[in-house]
A and B are shown apart, each in its own frame.
Chain A
Amino acid sequence: MTADLRAVEAFLFHEARLLDEARYEDWLALFTATATYWVPSQPGQKSPVDTVSIFYDDRRLLETRVRRLAAAGAHAQTPPSQTSRLIGNVALAGLAPGEEGGVVAESRFQMVEYRRDRQRLFAGSYRHHLVPDADGFRIQSKRVALVNAGGVMDGITVPL
């Protein structure tokens, strides 16, 4: 397929908006049935299999995570987080070994999270492997590399 940067950007901005609006079930619908969502815990971490992660969700865990977030009464979201994400420096990149079809988008992001008197700033890079879909794209994998991946952080409840 011909990669269209503008279409990819529009998709990433749409995804960010769903998260900022806490529309987690709509966000989940962006992922394929065999998707993974990964936030490494070590700078430069190569694999989610041999090293601990901040998030590492396969489709099954992602569904459970979203169900927990969407249900009322998760203590860590009482009160809920308010977030604002900015995405920039979007560029198309090559597929990695094992990835088939679609397009890889690399970008930079910042997310401000406000919850109960406290504001936190997260920053880093996104790597999305997107595959074509009738509506545009679906996310086959998303990796979020935080600049402070190796640091001590308080609990993170909302996806980055």
Chain B
Amino acid sequence: MLILVKFAKDKPAVLGAAIVLAVVAMAILAPLIAPYPGDVAASHLLQRLKPPSPEHPFGTDNLGRDILSRVILGARGALMIALLVVGISMAIGVPLGLIAGYQQGWLSQTIMRVTDIFLAVPQLILALALAQLMGPSLESAMLALTLTYWPFFTRIVYAETRRLAAALFIDALQCIGAGASRILFLHILPNAISPIIVRATIGMGFTILVAAVLGFLGMGATPPDPDWGLAIAESRQYLPEAWWFSTFPGLAIFLTVLGFNLLGDGLRDIVDPRLRRSR
């Protein structure tokens, strides 16, 4: 298909896709490919803080757990947060953006002002507040991230909807009697997909990063979760000698976020109706 051919020519995008696929595979197959799957909870104090070696390619942490296994197992939590946060943000933000962009009256204004209010809330502060209220956990982190991410979707969908609502083909649809919901969901939404997809993929990377920060601050995942951010937090006391403790989880975060960003850029370029072909 023309879309795949075009995508294959974009080297950074292919790299991004490869990284993302690897991370997803890692997450799905985690218990099968981690060399020491039991190291989610177990501790082997005799093995603590061993440098990288053939039995432990990424070394061991302060409780003697294999870091490679914990990095692989941590992918699950990272991806799950990212998928849930981005997914729910889209489910809230996209319809609101469509409605606000299509109507022009008080409803539209109200939605956009509420969006502005939520945009003004700093993510980390809200996460801290919720962690206080609900007790620090992955759930409170996800709630904070979702509440502060949906407005981004609303904003871009609003802009795209306003632009498309003025398009001639929308006028033609109104002339033949199509109703507002048909126009919004079958005609405006598909043509607005491009920025939504880009935002979603970048959002995945961004969420993983912020979740790692929250884990680092102790406001998200709690021990003994193999969370990447949490691992970096735990590693602080043992630097700089046990450099492998923070380096590998950090690399995992870096590569995953990079992968999603490159993929997002590549997707933006290929989501173009002109690439839809009959042959």
Task: Say whether A associates with B.
Answer: no
| Residue positions of B touching A, CB distance < 8 A | none
